[in-house]
Structure 1
Amino acid sequence: MIRQPETTIFSYLQYSFESLYIAPMLFNLSQLFMKRNWIRVIDANYLSVLAGFYLKMKLNKIICQISLLMPCLILSGCSDVWNNPYPDSDSGKNILYNAFAERPKHLDPVQSYSSNEILFTAQIYQPPLQYHFLKRPLTLIPQTASKMPVVSYQDDNGVQLPPNSAGAHVAYSVYEITIRSGIFYQPHPAFAQDKHQHLLYHALTRQDIQTVQKISDFEHTGTRELIADDFIYQIKRLAHPRLHSPIFGLMADYIIGLREYAETLRDQDKTQPQNSFLDLRKFPLAGVERIDDYTYRIRIKGKYPQFIYWLTMAFFAPVPWEADHFFSQPGMAEKNFTLDWYPVGTGPYMLTENNPNQIMVLERNPNFKGEYYPDEGMPEDMENGLLRDAGKALPFIDKIIFSREKESIPYWNKFLQGYYDASSIGSDSFDQAVQITGQGEAAITEEMEAQGIRLGTEVAPSTYYMGFNMLDPVVGGRTPEEKAAARKLRQAISIAVNYEEFLTIFANGRGIAAQGPIPPGIEGYHEGEAGINPISYEWHNGEVRRKSIKQAQALLAEAGYPGGISRRTGKPLVLYYDVTARSADDRSIMDWMRMQFQKLNIQLVVRSTDYNRFQDKIRKGNAQIFEWGWNADYPDPENFLFLLYGPQRKVDNSGENAANYDNAEYNRLFEQMKNMEHGPERIQIIDRMVAILREDAPWLWGYHPKIFALYHAWYQNVKPNRMAYNTIKYYRINPELRDQKRHEWNTPVVWPIGIGIVLLIIILFPARAAYRRKEQHRILKNR
């Protein structure tokens, strides 16, 4: 006798799919539910998952279970939020939710110089100065300093000069900085002491560290007061032989003795065991002087008015020797126990979790005190509610959670669901968020306004550009003849790559095509005909117009590549374009860029890497053409013009001149301009420098972006400032309102699921009967 096969739900479903076309029915049903928004925040494949659930049980059991489960689903689904990416325990807490795309490489203030890194370092470290949160134009105010630095000038003999002395007569400038007392570092094991006031964790062995997985595993922590020596120690670290500060070359030209100090440390480092602690306290630096516990002086060469802006940056923030020694112990670096991974500061926040591939967490520094919300600002700030917290102690937010979002669509959807408190606006979502009024102004759409979302806009003091590596034999040249030809090639490409078109297609017009390195709002930028780049543009009927492709093709032929074919080799010209890793969203941008070069019959090969690898290639000069950008550190043209100053080359000098451009005349003018006060004479020199750059075309000048950002109603005290990054301490969150809105926007409507289940059961009953008849007929036939 043949054993009757076990009758399972799989059999019924298989038969139903074959005979009753359940598969297309389920698909159409799920599409209808999603289209009607009957099932919100539920995966579109929910019904397929449900079918998989059926496969595991007998039909009779399922029918029984569904009949019991369906009322529970409907009732519970009416109140619960199913898609919350955060723990329920965080509900109602004073937490700011933010996102980042690129993992930071450096959090050590002596090395960090990227916008994705300063997002964190600016909340942790406190330089002497900062920008006023509300005042415009930008105004410098003390941060750890008790007052603005006192600046005095001296001649070659050290004799003090009048405050208004001309730069030509000034041999030295002396900045005297006094810091506030009562500032303390965050709790950290580097400061932990035993009962005899000996540092607990400064004589660790590899075995001691072996069991430690994260900094919080150290049982004890401590703190101490900030003193002037900590600022001096950090300035000395600019010359540390094992570190690569991007501003060392520039600062060595100014701070007395810094270049010689680097040589001293380099010689000393050779005599020490590898990776051992190099105690900078033992080696004096001529240009920095300690006056007392709260006062120090920095002595620089000549008159450099822009130096005071550098005192707002983390390069000049305090670093305690205890932290440097603690992280220098054997076995620390192998576990990422470094200042690059675990910064130690006096700021309002401290880094408590560092998982840069997923999440980074800042929490309130319990030792932070002494800063208050400003009690004055601009006239409109009172009307906009930006002075409601005047005089209150900072910070207002207890915790900031940064989640890594590589793709723009999930980031945008989570913002709309209330899981991010603010968002930039991608090209795909621009029309959903912004509408252009009849006057050409941007405004929030009615849909966004109904959700209480606000729009903030500002012109960024930034330049995004495509750089040519001037050390490359093709785009840079080596001999004078090759350099002249390469210049023509770069000029031709400058005409062909149409950034006006780029902004229209990919940025919804949020930006202006750059005519040079200096953005609007910075001295040296000119409007109208006086500001156009004559290499790439011409003035026609009162408007700027890009030159024609025919003119670009003529330049290309003069460069030795008529029709994109090398006159020397007879082969097509192939150029290589290095970019940071691109998502599928950006593939169309790369296709567009290839088309721009194809106008000249040039083949463009895109080479994509992650940001850290990209930085390494730029530092070593292994790129040919690359994309990059620069956000101003301070509101002065020198901050952009130094990016093309020869001694600032990336290769050999580790500076910020990523193109490795080096023009003797430009260098001479830069050295003359940088020490001058603002005025007409300085602008004339800047204009001459920009003209040289336009002729040499070491960059495709790219564009200056317009920044659009969205903020939820519960995100308060927001006033954009692209020059200051330490502004989170001023922000305020209303977690109760946020929870309320999240509940409104994300509570699922589940009754359609119940209807779908009932329909499925109704369909399965005849399938069950038909299947059993078929099986009985088969058994009888086989007997």
Structure 2
Amino acid sequence: MSPAPPKHLDPAISYASDESLFIFQIYEPPMGYHFLKRPYELEPQGVEDFPVETYLDESGNEVTADSDQIAFTRYTLKVREDAHYQPHPAFATKENGEPLYLFSTAEEGAGYKQVPDFPETASRPVHANDYAYQIKRLADPALGSPMLGFMAQYIVGMAEFTAGLEALDRDGWLNLDDYPMEGLEVVDERTLSITIKGRYPQFVYWLAMHFFVPVPPEADRFYANPGFLDRNLTLDWWPIGSGPFMMVKNDPNSEIVLERNPNYREDYFPTEGEPGDLEAGNLVDAGKRVPFVDRAVYRLEKEVLPLWTKFLQGYYDRSGETHGNTNSVYDQAFVVGPDGVEMSADVADHGIRMDPDVKPGIYYYGFNMRDPVVGGYTEEKRKLRRALQIVFNVEEYLAIFRKGNGIVAHNVIPPGIAGHLEGEAGINPYTHVWKDDQAVRRSIDEAKQLLVEAGYPNGRDARTGEPLKIFIDVQSQAVGKTQMNWMDRSFSQIGIQVEFRPADWNRTREKLLTGNSQIYSYGWLADYPDPENFLFLLYSPESPLVCKCDGTNNSNFENAEYDELFRKVRVTPPGPERDVMVARMVEIFREEAVWLYAYYPKDIYLANAWVTNTKRHGITKATLKYINLDAGMREQKRAEWNQPVTWPLYAGAMMLVVLILPGVIAYRRRQNATARRNHNG
């Protein structure tokens, strides 16, 4: 089920989460993630093993990993021998090896409206050059990939490759194989090397993104046929991949259908996971070959109610709805009990499976550290911010406005990512204490005392006697009046007044870019599961006022120690040395009280009882191959839940009889009377 159709399915162009739901089933990037393990763990997918890293100096000579002369890093990948593309007409050839479907005019191919219309298909193994070809597509200015600007900072020769293509007078298909990129070398049919500038260990995470999947030149050539674009015969509409599934129908206003790729390699359900997976039944299919299902149908449902009704009737296996905020469906499905969110009595008898998903992300309200009132780095300013942090009761906020679906953030790094600690070791000691095996928020009295020490007794400036007023920029569509009233009451407990400044996102973003906010709202979801992906939210060069760009350090936080540690973390491989640096950066974040409050978003997904292996994965959407279901139970439950209701029919028939019978009796009486008169006459 999907609330909106995908706009892009070309892996060089797409950047939306809903689109990756399809892309990751059809394509297979070099790297992927273990389905069950947390923290998130990388594993090879389209390649045989982890990339081999070689470090080079400015002259291209190899140096050791601990050298201070590292100018480049070369990643060498070995493509799996058993990786094959799905059957597709792009691979079909004539006896002489020329493409079978290669047309000179639009009229020649006019009879083909969609990919299933082509009678001849073929396949071939995945080659190393297919990965190189896709990286060149990322650099092709004609495609406008959202990754071009970022990746050009790292991949050697990418910016020059783009400039070279921009200078071309293009007419028709451009075979990117004819244009070399300095940082790419196809060593042989199964070996590829990618050279990046400097040292950036996080690059291996990018190899798990759909931007780096293999795209065969044949696909590019096939879809460049004249007239194909007019009929949506494009890679953006009909992907060609080597993943577990292939697209057989794409009608985004109705349904999208995926079927098992008959050429998919041998792949198996994991045999190990994290603690609790065995008890939760997540290892029942351990060691079995995947994918388990032959066909997956995604239907467009524009309204929540019919989607929910069909799910309860058993016509949808999984709920495509994320249940995190307030809506009528959520209220029907869940109740908030003493142990958190529970299934409501109305739907508990369906045996529906609840899958909570703590996303690798963070939502927060941040202080502008350049603001003259709440900003600054003196002890008094820290105490003021800590008082505001304590009085903003995030636990209560989540219970009221998120139905308990969220986790108080004591750390800038969310669960599932290295650097996040649970339990007593993970609490923020400036806002909480550890009591009875749980984090307990510090008292309002402590917040009041901090205000006194900050120079604002009873919420008034000790020098002027003026009441302290804080200003919060909120997005009009994201925060309602009820939430603002709750925050107003919270701060009034320590005598502080609040003025909200609602605006649309464009106006709010303009304030952040110019530093004209005091307290602002923001959020971040991980692109990859590394602490660097969150710690950079406080790196001073990322401040919009410093970089003069759309930076992510909207608090304009500056700390020399933090910045130095960040630069080291960015280039240090995972390990104990890096863990110590990350822990110190988290401690600086807490000491300086940079954000007013934060929480990790949590959603709940639902699956009917016959669906198994539904554990959510916060980073990748390449999980359809692990889904299993009991088709017999599904048919049984559908029949049970959709019994025809016949009593209205019988009741209606009886009513009809009651209404008609007197008339029939009267009619028969008249007929009999007429017959007697005729007889007597």
The one-character-per-residue Cα deviations of 1:37-74 (angstroms, maximum 9, x if unpaired) are: xxxxxxxxxxxxxxxxxxxxxxxxxxxxxxxxxxxxxx
Q: Does 1:293 align with 2:193?
A: no
Q: Does 1:592 align with 2:489?
A: no
The one-character-per-residue Cα deviations of 1:241-265 (angstroms, maximum 9, x if unpaired) are: 234444444433433x1xx432332
Show the counterpart of 1:142: 44
What are the equivalent positions in structure 2 for 1:633-648 lying under 5 Å apart? 633-634=528-529, 636-642=530-536
The one-character-per-residue Cα deviations of 1:501-521 (angstroms, maximum 9, x if unpaired) are: 442123321221334531134
The one-character-per-residue Cα deviations of 1:342-370 (angstroms, maximum 9, x if unpaired) are: 22211111223334344322222232232
Instruction: Give 3-state SS (helix, strand or coil) of 2:160's partner.
Output: helix
The one-character-per-residue Cα deviations of 1:367-416 (angstroms, maximum 9, x if unpaired) are: 22322334555686566655554544322211111223344443333222
Is contact 1:646-1:657 (8 Å) kept?
no
CA change 1:533–1:389 in 2 (3 A) is closer
The one-character-per-residue Cα deviations of 1:699-744 (angstroms, maximum 9, x if unpaired) are: 7764213443333221123333323321211222222210110110
Instruction: Give 3-state SS (helix, strand or coil) of 2:180's partner.
Output: coil
Return the letter of the residue paired with 1:525.
H
Show the counterpart of 1:179: 79
Q: Per-residue deviation at 1:675?
A: 1.1
CA change 1:302–1:483 in 2 (3 A) is farther
The one-character-per-residue Cα deviations of 1:206-227 (angstroms, maximum 9, x if unpaired) are: 4556665433344543332210
CA change 1:109–1:195 in 2 (3 A) is same
Show the counterpart of 2:170: 273
CA change 1:243–1:650 in 2 (3 A) is farther
Match of 2:124 among 224, 235, 243: 224
Is contact 2:277-2:283 (8 Å) kept?
yes
- C-alpha distance in 1 between matches for 2:608 and 2:14: 31
Is contact 1:578-1:626 (8 Å) kept?
no
- C-alpha distance in 2 between matches for 1:532 and 1:377: 26
Match of 1:460 among 359, 369, 376: 359
Tell me which of the two structures has the higher relative contact order, counting C-alpha pairs closer than 8 angstroms and 6 or more residues apart: 1
Q: Per-residue deviation at 1:429?
A: 5.5
Match of 2:115 among 198, 215, 222: 215
What are the equivalent positions in structure 2 for 1:546-625 lying under 5 Å apart? 577=475, 590-595=480-485, 602-605=499-502, 607=504
Match of 1:132 among 2, 25, 34: 34
Return the letter of the residue paired with 1:453.
I
Instruction: Give 3-state SS (helix, strand or coil) of 1:300's partner.
Output: strand
Is contact 2:84-2:123 (8 Å) kept?
yes
- C-alpha distance in 2 between matches for 1:106 and 1:658: 30
What are the equivalent positions in structure 2 for 1:510-529 lying under 5 Å apart? 510-526=405-421
CA change 1:497–1:733 in 2 (3 A) is same
Instruction: Give 3-state SS (helix, strand or coil) of 2:600's partner.
Output: strand
Show the counterpart of 2:95: 195
- C-alpha distance in 1 between matches for 2:105 and 2:558: 51
CA change 1:235–1:706 in 2 (3 A) is same
Q: Does 1:671 align with 2:567?
A: yes
- C-alpha distance in 1 between matches for 2:249 and 2:177: 31
Structure 2 residues without counterparts, runs of 5 or longer: 490-496, 665-681
Q: Per-residue deviation at 1:747?
A: 1.1
Q: Per-residue deviation at 1:577?
A: 2.0
Instruction: Give 3-state SS (helix, strand or coil) of 2:363's partner.
Output: strand
Show the counterpart of 1:116: 18
What percentage of residue pairs aligned between the two structures are identical?
Answer: 39
- C-alpha distance in 2 between matches for 1:554 and 1:598: 18
- C-alpha distance in 2 between matches for 1:661 and 1:466: 13
Q: Per-residue deviation at 1:128?
A: 1.7
CA change 1:298–1:507 in 2 (3 A) is same
CA change 1:391–1:641 in 2 (3 A) is same
Q: Does 1:317 align with 2:213?
A: yes
CA change 1:373–1:126 in 2 (3 A) is same
- C-alpha distance in 1 between matches for 2:558 and 2:644: 64
TM-score (norm 2): 0.75
Show the counterpart of 2:619: 723
Show the counterpart of 2:160: 263
Return the letter of the residue paired with 1:338.
T
> Greater helix share, 1 or 2?
1
Is contact 1:373-1:394 (8 Å) kept?
yes
- C-alpha distance in 1 between matches for 2:105 and 2:596: 52
Is contact 1:167-1:676 (8 Å) kept?
no
Show the counterpart of 2:314: 418
Q: Per-residue deviation at 1:199?
A: 1.7
CA change 1:654–1:366 in 2 (3 A) is farther
Is contact 1:183-1:225 (8 Å) kept?
yes
- C-alpha distance in 1 between matches for 2:536 and 2:6: 24
- C-alpha distance in 2 between matches for 1:563 and 1:678: 49
Q: Per-residue deviation at 1:698?
A: 9.0
- C-alpha distance in 1 between matches for 2:104 and 2:603: 49
Match of 1:748 among 644, 657, 668: 644
Show the counterpart of 2:668: none
TM-score (norm 1): 0.67
Aligned residue pairs total 632
Structure 1 residues without counterparts, runs of 5 or longer: 1-98, 469-474, 567-572, 581-588, 769-783
- C-alpha distance in 1 between matches for 2:366 and 2:97: 54
Return the letter of the residue paired with 1:179.
V
- C-alpha distance in 2 between matches for 1:204 and 1:662: 59
- C-alpha distance in 1 between matches for 2:231 and 2:501: 41
Is contact 2:543-2:555 (8 Å) kept?
yes
Is contact 2:366-2:555 (8 Å) kept?
no
Show the counterpart of 1:733: 629
Return the letter of the residue paired with 2:256.
M
CA change 1:741–1:502 in 2 (3 A) is same
Instruction: Give 3-state SS (helix, strand or coil) of 1:362's partner.
Output: strand
- C-alpha distance in 2 between matches for 1:211 and 1:660: 58
Match of 2:399 among 474, 489, 504: 504
Q: Per-residue deviation at 1:637?
A: 0.5
Is contact 1:647-1:655 (8 Å) kept?
no
Return the letter of the residue paired with 1:592.
T
Q: Per-residue deviation at 1:466?
A: 6.3
What are the equivalent positions in structure 2 for 1:145-544 lying under 5 Å apart? 145-162=47-64, 165-166=65-66, 168=68, 170-208=70-108, 212-255=112-155, 257=156, 260-273=157-170, 276-329=172-225, 331-375=227-271, 386-387=282-283, 389-423=285-319, 424-425=322-323, 428=328, 440=339, 448=347, 450-457=349-356, 459-465=358-364, 499-526=394-421, 537=431, 543-544=440-441
Is contact 1:496-1:597 (8 Å) kept?
no
Q: Per-residue deviation at 1:268?
A: 2.7
381-390 or 649-658, larger mean C-alpha shift: 649-658
The one-character-per-residue Cα deviations of 1:560-604 (angstroms, maximum 9, x if unpaired) are: xx99999xxxxxx89562659xxxxxxxx6343454676765455
Instruction: Give 3-state SS (helix, strand or coil) of 1:299's partner.
Output: strand
Return the letter of the residue paired with 2:353.
R
- C-alpha distance in 2 between matches for 1:261 and 1:186: 29
- C-alpha distance in 2 between matches for 1:553 and 1:122: 55
- C-alpha distance in 2 between matches for 1:234 and 1:653: 32
Q: Per-residue deviation at 1:234?
A: 1.6
339-348 or 458-467, larger mean C-alpha shift: 458-467
Show the counterpart of 2:670: none
The one-character-per-residue Cα deviations of 1:607-635 (angstroms, maximum 9, x if unpaired) are: 59xxxx99x999x99x997765414532x
Show the counterpart of 2:674: none
